[in-house]
């Protein structure tokens, strides 16, 4: 476990060095930009058309053919934004604060076939740095924490949450993007995004199952390079790595660690300012351990995206997928269809996103890769200037490949409702309730207590300071 933390901290230092180097490079290539005293930048729909913004065209699709192209959602590593169009995304800020929270779960650990309920208490300081230059933008956030349980004190632990998003325009037509998310926790539901308070950004990892309480480390990294070859043509390559690790095996009987590595190449053509048509080739290596079962997949997918306006888009993709597993028994190659779609919609006080897909994916704790059907939806609504509510729902159906059909079949259904009330300029009160149901009859860590009700309440203090002032 400590080695994993050391790797994560090493990654943080490396990424910080990369950011510093890119910042120096960007400033050297833009001598007219002052190196200190940067004025905080505000991003929003009103800035559409300003071509010197490092991220403007990716979040605000142009409606004129021949302009700078965006990366369509089926091949983007960023995902939809859940910010309202009225929420300007201000940059060049240092933000921080402290959150104190308490949670209740009616199933922290099954004992004798019966779930045990418990309260936990947490303290999470947090800090965020973001900066935007004419060719470089980045956002780095870190939140350590301490969680204490009232009865199940064996699960007391320190938490870590790290997130990085970086975008660098190497030239007018070449863009590099990178993202990383790392978390260490004993309660995955405590990491549940309070959509009302902190809208999700970037792509969250697919969750096939959730153990009530167990030490776990999750790490997901993505990097993408895209090149606009013509006024309406864009090519790119993406690499993604994700890892799930349970350091204390006795807490998760029947579950396995897993890693996933994906390489992708894509091409998209803009038929007009609103219509994108493209194709992608994906190779994925999925590994479950310590059983050593490995699955390789190859897929060729066609996708289509339409941008109805700068804050609304719809995408679909479909194509054949080939998978082959290696382990105690070598299974013959299987062909299956892969398909999916997504929709993002934002207004002044409302935001909505929906995603659905059917394809081969990593087990996420299961004994092997699975045919996975995943669907999720999130909506965020501002009731007043100081009050926001959020609602999300998730469904995941997983069927094992032919290698181990009896041990990895099951499904997950969850729903979360959240509430945020701003108390002045610096304080906030947040609540979130999650209902989780899982059906995995052959996994002891879940089958003995498949249902969880989880409530999280917190009070936070936040501040922000412009960088360079």
Written as tens digits, the pLDDT of the chain (469 aa) is 445 555 544 554 454 444 445 444 444 444 444 433 333 433 333 333 333 344 444 444 444 555 789 999 999 998 888 888 877 667 788 999 999 999 999 888 766 567 788 999 999 999 999 999 889 999 999 999 999 999 888 888 888 999 999 999 999 999 999 999 999 988 888 765 566 666 654 445 567 788 778 888 999 999 999 999 999 999 999 999 999 999 988 888 888 899 999 999 999 999 987 999 999 999 999 998 888 889 999 999 999 999 998 889 999 999 999 998 887 666 778 899 999 999 999 999 999 999 999 999 988 888 888 899 999 999 999 999 999 999 999 999 998 886 555 556 889 999 999 999 999 889 999 999 999 999 888 787 787 778 889 999 999 999 999 986 5
What is the C-alpha separation between 52 and 317, in angstroms, rounded?
32
What is the b/e burial string over 230-248, where b = at least 16 CB atoms within 10 angstroms of the residue's CB? eebebebebebebbbbbbe
Identify the CA nearest to 452 among candidates 246, 213, 191, 100.
Answer: 213
CA 341 to chain centre: 17
What is the C-alpha separation between 279 and 264, in angstroms, rounded?
11
Cβ atoms of residues 237 and 222 within 8 Å: no
What is the C-alpha separation between 196 and 383, in angstroms, rounded?
11
Residue 2 CB partners (closer than 8 Å, separation 6+): none
What is the b/e burial string over 152-164, where b = at least 16 CB atoms within 10 angstroms of the residue's CB? beebebebbbbbb
Identify the CA nearest to 395 among candidates 371, 410, 412.
Answer: 412
What is the C-alpha separation between 193 and 108, in angstroms, rounded?
19
Cβ atoms of residues 293 and 261 within 8 Å: no
**Predicted local distance difference test score (pLDDT) of residue 28:** 47
Cβ atoms of residues 136 and 165 within 8 Å: no
């Amino acid at each position: 476990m400590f080695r994993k933390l050391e790797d994560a901290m090493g990654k943080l230092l490396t990424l910080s060095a990369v950011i510093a180097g890119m910042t120096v490079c960007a400033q050297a290539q833009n001598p007219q930009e002052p190196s200190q005293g940067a004025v905080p930048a505000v991003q929003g729909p009103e800035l559409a058309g300003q071509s010197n913004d490092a991220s403007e065209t990716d979040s605000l699709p142009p409606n004129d053919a021949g302009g700078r192209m965006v990366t369509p959602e089926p091949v983007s590593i960023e995902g939809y934004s859940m910010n309202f169009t009225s929420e300007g995304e201000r940059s060049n800020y240092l933000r921080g604060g402290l959150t104190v929270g308490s949670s209740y779960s009616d199933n922290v650990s099954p004992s004798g076939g019966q779930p045990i309920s418990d309260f936990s208490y947490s303290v999470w300081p947090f800090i965020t740095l973001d900066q935007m230059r004419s060719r470089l933008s980045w956002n780095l956030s870190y939140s350590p924490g301490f969680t204490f349980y009232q009865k199940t004190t064996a699960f007391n632990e320190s938490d870590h949450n790290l997130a990085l998003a970086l975008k660098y325009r190497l030239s007018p037509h070449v863009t590099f993007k990178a993202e990383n998310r790392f978390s260490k926790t004993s309660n995955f539901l405590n990491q549940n995004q309070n959509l009302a308070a902190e809208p999700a950004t970037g792509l969250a990892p697919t969750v096939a199952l959730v153990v009530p309480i167990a030490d776990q480390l999750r790490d997901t990294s993505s990097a993408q390079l895209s090149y606009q070859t013509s006024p309406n043509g864009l090519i790119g390559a993406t690499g993604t790595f994700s890892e799930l690790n349970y350091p204390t095996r006795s807490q998760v009987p029947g579950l396995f660690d897993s890693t996933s590595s994906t390489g992708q190449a894509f091409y998209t053509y803009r038929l007009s300012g609103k219509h994108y048509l493209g194709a992608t080739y994906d190779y994925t290596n999925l590994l479950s351990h310590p059983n050593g079962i490995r699955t390789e997949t190859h897929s060729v997918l066609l996708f289509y995206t339409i941008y109805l306006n700068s804050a609304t888009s719809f995408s679909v993709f479909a194509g054949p997928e080939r998978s082959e597993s290696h382990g105690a028994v070598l299974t013959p190659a299987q062909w299956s269809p892969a398909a999916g779609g997504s929709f993002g919609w934002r207004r002044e006080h409302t935001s909505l996103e929906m995603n659905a897909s059917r394809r081969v994916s990593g087990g996420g704790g299961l004994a092997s890769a699975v045919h996975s059907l995943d669907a999720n939806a999130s909506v965020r609504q501002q009731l007043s200037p100081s009050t926001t509510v959020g609602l999300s729902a998730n469904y995941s159906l997983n069927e094992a490949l032919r290698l181990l059909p009896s041990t990895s079949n099951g499904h997950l259904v969850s729903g979360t409702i959240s509430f945020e009330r701003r108390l002045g300029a610096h304080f906030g009160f947040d609540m979130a309730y999650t209902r989780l149901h899982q059906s995995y009859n052959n996994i002891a860590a879940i089958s003995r207590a498949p249902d969880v009700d989880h409530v999280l309440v917190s009070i936070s203090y936040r501040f922000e300071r412009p960088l360079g002032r």
